[in-house]
Amino acid sequence: MYYLKGIVDEMFSGMKLQFVVTEQQIQIQFQKKSIGMICKVSAEKMKQFGIKQEVYYAELNWAECKKFTETQKIRYIEVPKFPAVERDLAMVIDQSIRYQDVQKTIKQLQSKLLQNINIFDVFESDKLGKGKKSYAINLSFSDAEKTLTDVEVETEMSKIIKSLEDKLGASIRGN
């Protein structure tokens, strides 16, 4: 479900969508108005087609999306000449902290190198501790002028980790 959320967020990045996550679905909002959702295909449909693994779908109100695009100027951004560097980060946080809080905390650092933040896993278990859950996120870094060094990326990662620990009380997994 979160992988599909990342795709929708990236496809409509200019709209600055908001996502309201519940246990059953993710509501997609634009300017505080619901324009769609991400849901799991029902068990009955899965059985009907003989599909054994979970399948998710995104449903969007195209009329609302079209209204936004009609008011925007189209701009061209050159394809990057230098490769992006990706890092995954897993953290254990309090159950009450939403993914949006994690995103906001990272974006407040205003890194010039950080291009994308995507969540790819949410894990809840008593093994993490009472009232805890784990988020796994992917961070993408790049510079339009040069190839990034490991030192540059690790410096950014250190700032992100410190901010998550200090502001959200996150415990980084694997450290």
Tens digit of each residue's pLDDT (9 = 90 or more) over 103-130: 999 999 999 999 999 999 988 888 888 8
Q: For residue 145, which amino acid is it?
A: E
Instruction: Report whether pLDDT(58) > 80.
Output: yes
> Please, what sign has the CA dihedral across residues 23, 29, 34, 40?
negative
User: What tokens were used for 159?
Assistant: 């700032």
pLDDT greater than 80 at residue 75: no
Q: Does 55 score more than 80 pLDDT?
A: yes
pTM (two decimals):
0.60
Overall fold of domain 85-172: Alpha-Beta Plaits (3.30.70)
Percentage of the chain beyond pLDDT 90 is 58
Order of strands across the sheet that contains 25-30: 18-21, 25-30, 33-40, 56-60
**Which stretches within 60-109 are classed as H helix?**
62-70, 99-107
CA dist 94 and 117 (Å) reads 20
Encoding tokens for residue 80? 């990057």
What pLDDT score was predicted for residue 74? 67
Neighbour count for residue 10 (Cβ, 10 Å): 10
**Stretch(es) of the chain classified as CATH 3.30.70.380:** 85-172
Highest mean pLDDT among 13-17, 73-77, 79-83: 79-83
How many CB atoms within 10 Å of residue 26? 21
Confidence of residue 175 (pLDDT cuts 50, 70, 90): low
- On average, the pLDDT of the chain sits at 89
Closest CA to 134 of 118, 123, 149: 123
